[in-house]
Amino acid sequence: MVIQIKNKDKFIINEFTFKCCIGKAGIKKNKIEGDKSTPKGTFSIGKLYFRQDRVRKPITNLDTKVIKSNMGWCNDPNHKNYNKEIKIKKKTKHEKLYRKDHKYNYLIVINYNTKKITPNNGSAIFIHLTKNFKPTAGCIAIKEKDFLILLKLINKKTQIKIY
């Protein structure tokens, strides 16, 4: 099964087409850290993270993990844990997973730059929630009701094709 992202605002899986938003700078083949672009290519997907204090564990075939207040995603290209989940330490640059807004109540990791990690190639690329479809910093965002439908359709073997 393949999720397709095309035309900057279409999220397609099977017979479902959802509205989405992507990075402010569009889709780029040569993504770099902080450029606000969504990486072009075909990628596997990782775990589903969710805020158990706000939402229920959804029906899904993905591995799941509860987001705790000390969790982050390292976006410091000079750090040994670049583009990995971390426990937040003040000195490490990171994306906070336990947010005040609701964007990360659910998020799925897109396995971009996660196998052979290259510093500065970009980090923390997720499928997450949106309420207003404003451009992201590089992630793909959809409405919560669409996200919950998506979770019932996909599994660990699902890929995402961004073009």
E strand or H helix that includes residue 41 = strand 41-50
CB-CB contact of 30 with 41 (8 Å)? no
Q: What's the start-to-end Cα distance of the chain, in Å?
A: 16
Q: What's the confidence (pLDDT) of residue 15?
A: 92
> In residues, how long is the chain?
163
- Local structure of 107: helix, strand or coil: strand
Q: What is the pTM of this model?
A: 0.96
Query: How many domains, in total, are found in the chain?
Result: 1
Backbone φ, ψ for residue 65 (5° rounding)? -150, 135
CA distances from 120 to 30, 36, 95, 117, 161 (A): 11, 13, 15, 9, 22
Q: What's the confidence (pLDDT) of residue 6?
A: 85
Print the domain residue range for 16: 2-162
CATH of the domain at 89: 2.40.440.10
CA gyration radius for the chain?
15
pLDDT along the chain (163 residues), means of 10: 91 95 97 98 98 97 98 97 95 95 98 97 98 98 98 97 96
